Amino acid sequence: MNVLIIGGGGREHAIAWKVRQSVKVGSLFCTPGNAGIMRLCEPVPVKADDFKGLVQFAKRNDVGLTIIGPEAPLCAGIVNEFRNAGMQALGPDSRGAQLEGSKVFAKQFMKRHGIPTAPFETFTDPATALEYVKKKGAPLVVKADGLAAGKGVTVCRTVAEAEQALRDAMEKKVFGDAGREVVIEEMLEGEEASVLALTDGKVIVPLEPAQDHKAVFDQDQGPNTGGMGAYSPAPVVTDTVMREVEAKVLKPTLEGLKKEGMDYRGVIYAGLMIKEGRISVLEYNVRFGDPETQAVLPRLKSDLVDVCLAVTNGRLEKSMLSWDKRAAVCVVMASGGYPGPYHTHLPINGVEKAEAMRSILVFHAGTEMSHGQLVTSGGRVLGVTALGKDIATAIENAYKAVEAVHFPGAHFRWDIGAKAVE
């Protein structure tokens, strides 16, 4: 079977690496890809946002499965195009993708179906939103409604910070149209975790839990990024907590989708806040997380292609997933200045040295080849993943590999996984 992957980041590199292990796969295609992905895949002469062109390419090249990595094409309806053409694509259609594409829709969905989440209000008028913030007081969380590449959420510990976040989103439009409407919600305390699950529309099966690190600096300081690292498993998600997540989040989410007439076949990712065993949903994603995927897929022993086809064909079973008991830690190496302005086309050295180390995988995110030299092309450049007998060992392995890789201005956090060890 031939497989097509849509996307060009670290998540898609991890997916391509895992798909390539399947004995069922013949040709593996990807668009737009990156320097690491293209060591595994054949290029596609169609842009990633040309949905009709991608369907035609898939038909011509006998593609039996398409896996969509990023959220933007899912929200824009890429799966609708593939399904209408009678082709298998992993992911929700545009209606289901609203769970990530609209924070307002997601919060209202949770409210309708009794899924635990922070109390909230929504606003389209900046003046009304500012008035509410003054009346409510801090701390608060301000969320742009639409897609903002993981950067549309601002945790505001003072009223002044909340007011600035509202002005940025609604008046200055720093997130574009994504900030036309905002959610303002109570700030929850606790520890965050990510539970990704697969659903074929009938059953929902969780993957091993992970924890992302959104803030750019150690000790969760600085602005939010798309993610500076992840580890799996996440000790905060105990067996008891996972049972709660399945009973109070995953199953009600699937039932809610069914009640609202959505044929959802793909990934449901619940971003959770956990405190003393109590869970609340911070957000939904409708695709594999990034960088959680780079920590979770290396632990998956099952054939990813088999699993994805079971999802798209309505044959998913919990017994299909088996896991490596080792822990995985992914450290993201980013460009200096990220998530703000940063330079590109900087030479990267030492990747082969890192890859030669035991239990190390280097997933490319913002990379390309220029005149035979690997160079940076994005904010998040590489995800260095290590396996180990436990999280402490995986952390040690990961940072040894990180120190072998060099590019000018490279920035990374030194505390990925520290919460798990504590």
Pick the last residue of a domain from 65, 91, 117.
91
CATH of the domain at 350: 3.90.600.10
Pairing of strands 63-68, 140-144: unpaired
Average pLDDT for the chain: 96
Is residue 113 a part of any domain in this protein?
no
Q: How many domains does the chain have?
A: 4
Q: Which residues of the chain carry a pLDDT beneath 50?
A: none
pLDDT value at residue 224: 85
CATH of the domain at 24: 3.40.50.20
The closest of 186, 179, 162 to 123, measured between CA atoms, is 179
Q: Specify whether 166 is located in the same domain as 217.
A: no
Is residue 117 a part of any domain in this protein?
no
Q: Specify whether 194 is located in the same domain as 316.
A: yes
Pick the last residue of a domain from 320, 354, 385.
320
CATH of the domain at 168: 3.30.1490.20
Percent of the chain having pLDDT more than 90?
96
CB 355 within 8 A of CB 307: no
Q: Specify whether 349 is located in the same domain as 365.
A: yes
CATH of the domain at 268: 3.30.470.20
Q: Which domain holds residue 162?
A: 125-180
CB 218 within 8 A of CB 299: no
- How wide is the angle at C-alpha 256 spanned by C-alphas 253 and 262, nearest 5°? 105
Say how far apart CA 238 and CA 243 lie, in whole Å: 9
Percent of the chain having pLDDT more than 70?
100
Say how far apart CA 339 and CA 334 lie, in whole Å: 9
pLDDT value at residue 378: 97
pLDDT value at residue 152: 87
Is residue 109 a part of any domain in this protein?
no
Q: Specify whether 381 is located in the same domain as 366.
A: yes
Q: Specify whether 227 is located in the same domain as 314.
A: yes
pLDDT value at residue 277: 85
Say how far apart CA 244 and CA 209 lie, in whole Å: 13
Is residue 115 a part of any domain in this protein?
no
Q: What is the CA 72 to chain-centroid distance, rounded?
A: 12
Among left, alpha and beta (phi > 0; psi -120 to 50; other), residue 232 is beta
CB 357 within 8 A of CB 380: no
Is residue 108 a part of any domain in this protein?
no
Is residue 304 a part of any domain in this protein?
yes
**CA distances to 96, 102, 303, 401, 412 from 312, in Å:** 14, 24, 15, 37, 37
Burial (CB count <10 Å: 0-12, 13-18, 19+), residue 174: middle
Q: Specify whether 331 is located in the same domain as 305.
A: no
Q: Specify whether 152 is located in the same domain as 218.
A: no
Q: Specify whether 233 is located in the same domain as 272.
A: yes
The closest of 72, 70, 92, 82 to 9, measured between CA atoms, is 70
Q: Specify whether 348 is located in the same domain as 271.
A: no
Q: Specify whether 176 is located in the same domain as 209.
A: no
Q: Specify whether 311 is located in the same domain as 371.
A: no
Q: Specify whether 389 is located in the same domain as 332.
A: yes
Say how far apart CA 224 and CA 304 lie, in whole Å: 30
Is residue 236 a part of any domain in this protein?
yes
Pick the last residue of a domain from 320, 341, 361.
320
Is residue 19 a part of any domain in this protein?
yes
